[in-house]
Amino acid sequence: MKNFIYRQKLRKALIIFSFVLLPATFAYISCSIIIESASEGIASGGLIVFVLIFISSLFLGRLWCGWLCPGGGLQEIYFQINNKQVKAGRVNWFKYLVFMAIILVPLISAIHSAGGIKSIDLFYGTEDGISIAKAGAYTIFFVQIAFFTAFALLAGKRGFCHYFCPIAVIMILGRKTRNMLAWPALHLSAEKDRCSDCMRCSKNCPMSLDVNIMVRQESMEDSECILCGCCVDVCPKRAIRYSLLG
């Protein structure tokens, strides 16, 4: 059990450290900077990161969200203030509209207006070695922080991930592609006969999923699962585990 506790400490350390680094990595997840560069026919480092996130989701699902996302790190810090369960599934569809409105349609329009991507600049928008040194980027940066904060404090645990995050949609689409083609990928599996209904898995899920029901149904696949492993590590009967096959 100690090893499992250490795994969650490591996960939380990584995800919070990712948030601490956000001022230096902002350009690589900023939709506005990605679209600005695309309008000039340039594939920025951010666009490359988005492509890599999609590719990773084909094999690792939303592992990025659980282990590396800076926005996720900030929201988990706010668990100390608001640890309320989010009513998962109520308006989760809204982030798909956000994805269309601020990533997909603007990106396609920007690439079309530039006549296509003509070059790659991995450091576009990272003047002076710090991505938010670009004029106007501080405003975008702090607006994004405000969004994370508002959702975390008003909606509950990882509210931004549930209701607004367009990057989550990229990984959900990748995961659905993997599920259709059914190749081996990282996922959770469960043995319902081991479950003692202690409910620790559901209580500790940072995405407010009813993991207990998922275990009882032996169906652990959910588009909101971020593969953080919290349910794996708190289960006293080892009813849940990571798996690659199946």
For 76-91, write each residue's pLDDT tens digit. Answer: 999 999 999 997 666 7
Predicted confidence at residue 74, as pLDDT, reads 96
Residues 38, 114: contact at Cβ < 8 Å?
A: yes
Find all residues with CB under 8 Å of 194, minimum gap 6, and list them.
237, 238, 239
- Digit-coded pLDDT (tens) for 168-192: 999 999 999 999 999 999 999 999 9
The number of residues in the chain equals 246
Strands 119-121 and 240-243 turn out to be unpaired
- pTM (global) more than 0.85: yes
How much is the pLDDT for 75?
A: 96
DSSP class of residue 120 equals E
In order of 12, 101, 181, the CA distances from 41 in angstroms are: 38, 20, 33
- Looking at residue 30, its pLDDT comes to 86
Residue type, 122: L
Distant-in-sequence, close-in-space partners of 12: CB < 8 Å, separation ≥ 6: 76
